Amino acid sequence: MKEGSPIRILHLIDSAGVAGGQRYLLDLLRHSDPSFEHHVVLSQAGPLEEMLRDQHCGYVLIPMAGKFSFSALRKIRQYLHDEKIQIVHSHGYRSNLQGRLACALTRARNIATVHVSLYDYIDTPLLTRRFYLLIEKMTSFLVSKYICISTAMRDDFRKMGIRREKLLVIHNGVDLAVFHPRTANEALSRSLGIQGNCPVIGTVGRMVTEKKQIDLMEALSLLQERWPKLQCLFIGTGPLLGRLEHQAEQLGVAGKCLFPGVRTDIAEFYPLLDVFILPSRREPFGLVLLEAMASKVPVIATAAGGPLDIIQSGSNGLLVPPSNPRELAAGIDFLLSNPDRAKVVAQQGYETVRKDYRIQDTIRKVCDVYRFTSMMITGLNYQ
């Protein structure tokens, strides 16, 4: 590596959807220090490809889906060799494993961001999940640093037996140039079918078991009598979309539930909401929570995982017990019934993000990890 040359970093990510890990990567690429040269390997085609092209970032596809792939490992190893990659930054369990093994073959260094805990793979069979945990622990010696997006993620890795010095908490951040208080877009509101002068609540996330949109739907049914005009936006998609639509029919709230799908203009949606809700069983961090707070929307989240790092209940948001639709309904009712208090909560939430969760601070800390890791690399040998 010549003095003054950019530090070459390869990002491995095993999904090309539009979720927290992908948005984290896009922010890294967008705000990174120019002393780093970023490369991206995707495991599969998807919406992330178009977003990378919009940022003029090149990428290659190396399938890593399914069982462990020696073919993928060989291709990644060859890419490291050809591009003289010094650091592999992996995102997601499958890419973490492939990345650290490829690093072992090339003497590059691996950094892994923990976006989701293996303990939260609740739809994965128990024996399979235990196998994943065992492999993670057995190969952890190959990782230079785990970047944990919340205290909860760090604590899960400590529970797994990963050494404390390998774990660093760096919270996600928000780009305040994108997410900020703004006037609601009336044309967007009409296009969604939102009726004028009706209270609107909503959530954003993949429609999977752990996100517990069903709890919000049940809370909505409990609020029907008190708030007959209340409408709820469920932004996103996923394997449970059909089940949620059926459940809305069963609960008698189908006319109140709006499903606009995955949106790239998500910043325009938050100002439509009177309250934003994150009803997850346990949330790894809660980037969408910060986005809503940055948009000066009052928020409610479950007291499990990442939101515990962010929310001081009653001050900058409300925390409710997970998997408890009745408590969730009570929190929604409180904020809708007390608009002055809701404005104070929203203002405190905005100040929290502006002070502690700016994307520039997040990226600066990640870049510091890159620099420290690059100083440890001596005599890289790709032969």
- Convert the pLDDT of each residue in 123-149 to its tens digit: 788 888 888 899 999 999 999 999 999
pLDDT of residue 4: 61
Return the amino acid letter for 92.
G
The CATH class that applies to domain 186-356 reads: alpha beta
Contacts of 14 (CB under 8 A, 6+ apart): 43, 44, 64, 65, 91, 92, 93, 94, 95
Provide the CATH number for the domain formed by 7-173+359-376 in this structure. Answer: 3.40.50.2000
pLDDT of residue 65: 64
> Over the stretch 334-377, which tens digit does the pLDDT of each residue have?
999 999 999 999 999 999 999 999 999 999 999 999 998 888 76
Residue 213 has pLDDT above 60, yes or no: yes
Assess contact for 201 and 274: CB atoms under 8 A.
yes
With bands split at pLDDT 50, 70 and 90, how would you rate the model's confidence at 16?
Answer: low
DSSP 337-354: H-HHHHHHHHHHHHHHHH
Which residues are bridge partners to 278 per DSSP? 301
Burial 330-340 (b: 16+ CB within 10 A, else e): bbbbbbbeeee
This prediction's pTM: 0.88
Mean pLDDT to the nearest integer, 193-208: 90
Question: Lowest mean pLDDT: which of 93-97, 187-191, 308-312, 349-353?
Answer: 93-97
Q: Which residue has the higher pLDDT, 380 or 307?
A: 307
CA dist list (Å): 13 to 78, 206, 315: 17, 17, 36
Residue 49 has pLDDT above 90, yes or no: no
Domain boundaries for CATH 3.40.50.2000 within the chain: 7-173+359-376, 186-356
